[in-house]
Amino acid sequence: MSGRFLRLACTAAVAVQAVLAPAPAHARTAPAAPAAPVPERPVAELLTDLQQRYRQAEQATETYNATEERLERQRATVDRLDDELARSRRSLYSSRAAAGRLARQQYQSATGLSPYLRLLLARDPQHALDEGHVIGQLSRERARTVGRLTDDEQRRSALTRRARTALDTQLALAARQKKQRDEVRSRLSDVERLLAALTPSQLTALADLERTGVADAQRELTTSGALPATTPPPSQEGDRAVRYAVDQLGKPYRWGTAGPLSYDCSGLTQQAWDHAGTSIPRTSQEQWAGLRHIPLADLRPGDLVVYFPEATHVALYLGGGKVVQAPRPGARIKVSPIAANPILGAVRPDPAAAPLPRYTPPRLPPTATQGPDDGYRPTNL
Full strand arrangement of the beta sheet holding 322-325: 292-294, 343-348, 304-307, 313-319, 322-325, 334-337
- The pLDDT, as a whole number, for residue 127 is 59
Put simply, whether the predicted model's pTM sits higher than 0.85 gets the answer: no
Please, what are the domains in the chain?
Answer: 43-193 (1.10.287), 199-355+362-373 (3.90.1720.10)
pLDDT band at 101 (very low <50, low <70, confident <90, very high): low
Residue-wise pLDDT for 134-160, tens only, equals: 555 556 666 666 666 676 677 778 888
SS (H, E, C) 293-320: EECHHHCCCCCEEEECCCCCEEEEEEEC
pLDDT band at 20 (very low <50, low <70, confident <90, very high): very low
pLDDT band at 248 (very low <50, low <70, confident <90, very high): very high
- The pLDDT, as a whole number, for residue 142 is 62
**37-59: string of b/e by CB count within 10 Å (b at 16+)?**
eeeeeebeebbeebbebbbbbbb
DSSP letter string, 171-227: HHHHHHHHHHHHHHHHHHHHHHHHHHTS-HHHHHHHHHHHHHHHHHHHHHHHHTT-S
- The pLDDT, as a whole number, for residue 194 is 87
